[in-house]
Structure 1
Amino acid sequence: MAKIKAEYLVHYYKQNGLPLFNRMMGLLPTLNALLFKTAPALVPLVNTLLNSALAKTVFEKIGVHPARDLPTYASQTLESWFTGRGQTKIRPGLRRDRSAAEPEKRVILFHDTWANYNETEIGQAAVRVLEAAGYHVQLANGRKCCGRPLLTGGQADKAKPWVDHNVALLAPFANQGIPIVGIEPSCILTLRDEYLNLASDKRRAQILADNAYTFEEFMVAETEAGRFTPSWKTNAGKALLHGHCHHKAMVGNETTVAALKAAGYAVSVIPSGCCGMAGDFGYESDHYEVSRKVGEDRLFPAVRAAEADTTIVASGTSCRHQIGHFTERQPVHLIQALARVIEE
Structure 2
Amino acid sequence: MTLWPDTFTDHLAPGTARAATRVLAAAGLTVTVPTAGPVCCALTYVSTGRLTRARRVLRRTLETLGDVEGPVLVLEPSCAAALRTDLPALLPDDPRAHRLAAAVRTFAETLEQYAPHWTPPRLDRPVAGQTHCHQHAVLGDAADRRLRDRAGLTGELSGGCCGLAGNFGFEPGHHAVSVACAEEQLLPSLRSAGPDAAVLADGYSCRTQIAQLSGHRARHLAELLAEALAPDEGPDPM
Same fold (TM over 0.5): yes
Q: 1:295 to 1:242 in 2, by over 3 A?
A: same
State the partner residue of 1:77: none
> Which range moves more in the overlay, 114-123 or 198-207?
198-207
State the Cα RMSD in Å. 1.8
State the partner residue of 1:189: 81
The DSSP-based 3-state class of the residue aligned with 1:138 is coil
2:210 counterpart (300, 317, 323): 323
Instruction: Give 5+ residue unaligned stretches, structure 2.
Output: 232-238
State the partner residue of 1:341: 228
State the partner residue of 1:117: 11
Q: For 2:104 and 2:159, locate their aligned partners in 1 and report how far apart those are by CA, in whole Å.
A: 27
Q: For 2:39 and 2:57, locate their aligned partners in 1 and report how far apart those are by CA, in whole Å.
A: 6
Letter of the 2:99 counterpart: I
The C-alpha deviation readout for 1:284-314, integer Å capped at 9, x for no partner, is 2211101111111221011122122211111
Identity of aligned residues (%): 30
Specify which structure has the bigger relative contact order, considering alpha-carbon pairs within 8 angstroms and separated by 6 or more residues.
Answer: 2
Instruction: Give 5+ residue unaligned stretches, structure 1.
Output: 1-106
The C-alpha deviation readout for 1:21-50, integer Å capped at 9, x for no partner, is xxxxxxxxxxxxxxxxxxxxxxxxxxxxxx
- Check if 1:203 corresponds to 2:95: yes
- Deviation of 1:233 after TM superposition, in Å, equals 3.6
State the partner residue of 2:179: 292
1:277 counterpart (153, 159, 164): 164
Q: 1:246 to 1:164 in 2, by over 3 A?
A: same
State the partner residue of 2:67: 172
> Which range moves more in the overlay, 246-255 or 270-279?
270-279
The C-alpha deviation readout for 1:137-158, integer Å capped at 9, x for no partner, is 1001113222111211222211
2:85–2:101: 8 Å Cα contact kept in structure 1?
yes
The DSSP-based 3-state class of the residue aligned with 2:55 is helix
Q: For 1:138 and 1:170, locate their aligned partners in 2 and report how far apart those are by CA, in whole Å.
A: 12
Letter of the 1:190 counterpart: A
State the partner residue of 2:130: 242
- Check if 1:139 corresponds to 2:26: no
Aligned residues between the structures: 230
Question: So what's the TM-score if we normalise by structure 2?
Answer: 0.89
Which of the pair has more CA radius of gyration?
A: 1
The DSSP-based 3-state class of the residue aligned with 1:285 is coil
Letter of the 1:147 counterpart: A
